[in-house]
Structure 1
């Protein structure tokens, strides 16, 4: 899967498919239309693009052959993991500590954020220790 082929517009549709797990095109159009003014044909084109890219699959309704039920072929977490890795590789030469440091330098971080980040790092260290 090359996630760089998923456009920002297609991601709007993909988020609905991930959220609903299985749904009709009408349900996707309804959900996307809540936050956009896209024409239903635009939304259906984006959905068709995702099907052609094998990111979304579908089945045809047993009772009505005009109704398609769409479902994700790619898990959301798998997609996000790959996107994160590609981001770190492209912009930070694969160096995650440089990325985190640059984000922290530019961010306004509360004491609570710092506490949460410390907990995340501690869990990462524990996982590494368990594997060794």
Structure 2
């Protein structure tokens, strides 16, 4: 089996683009009702509330989101993320690196520097970040 297929299969968290929209609201709010999520998403996307509720059900089924029934109103659910945004983004970065660059961070960085670096200020900022990373690696 190809290595990239193994990496895809072993991916721990699978979140669709639409589900990610919901997760972003949850990561920002930490704990909120479907009404708050619908309101926040409605500012940017014309999604029907049923679509958002379906996405929430999918995320709960995937065990990425948990809900609690409100103690005063059993019709009201409070949703919370079970994974942090950083955990998810870290996994996505690793997955991208493996899938597109065979795990070669240098090749990834080189392609970004070649394609996206647009000013000497950005180049200096990147240089400083690389120096800081090298210092962290040297420190015990």
TM-score normalised by the chain length of structure 1: 0.94
After superposition, residues 15-94 of structure 1 pair within 5 angstroms as 15-94=24-103
1:105 to partner: Cα distance: 1.2
State the Cα RMSD in Å.
1.1
Q: How many residues align?
A: 130
**Where does structure 2 lack aligned partners over 5 or more consecutive residues?**
1-10
User: Which residue in the other structure is 2:12 paired with?
Assistant: 2
Query: Once superposed, which parts of structure 1, at least 4 consecutive aligned residues long, lie more than 2 Å away?
Result: none
- CA distance in 2: counterparts of 1:61 and 1:126, whole angstroms: 49
Stretch of structure 1 that moved more, 98-107 or 7-16: 98-107
SS in 1 for 2:79: strand
Please give the TM-score of this superposition, normalised by the length of structure 2: 0.89
